[in-house]
Amino acid sequence: MLERLPICAGHALAEGGRGHVWDVLEYGRPVRAFAVRFDGLVRAYLNRCAHVPTEMDWQPGEFFDLDRRWIMCSIHGALYEPADGHCVAGPCTRGRLTPLTVREESGQVYWYPSLDIRPAPPPPPSPESPK
């Protein structure tokens, strides 16, 4: 396992609230990941529905249904158990979200990359505009 990387402050993830989204590489391909807080614990997954590989947030960082009980795909309405990413309803059938290893330590949330899911390179610096 690679070294842990800070992704956000723990207080930035409210119970059932807006998630934190960041870029990763899965097998070298760019994809987004997200972390949310549910039942007091931080959970993280690739931002990709098990039914059709599309990003799931209906607004940036918004993953929960209106009752704040399920992670919901905004495109297909598939519902996922936040605790383990398993599909509970909708077209995702017996699928599940791809989990990422995260831990909250001393007020900071850390992601532990794997061999398959690694950090995305930082974006290139923007060129200075002419004066």
- DSSP label of 67: T
Distances in Å between the alpha carbon of 72 and those of 9, 56, 87, 94? 24, 7, 10, 15
Q: Which of 48, 52, 72, 75 is nearest to 62 (CA)?
A: 72
pLDDT of residue 96: 95
What does the pLDDT look like over 28-49, one tens digit per residue?
Answer: 999 999 999 999 999 999 999 9
- Structural domains in the chain, CATH included, are 5-119 (2.102.10.10)
**Res. 1: pLDDT tops 80:** no
Q: What is the mean pLDDT of the chain?
A: 92
| pLDDT greater at residue 15 or residue 130 | 15
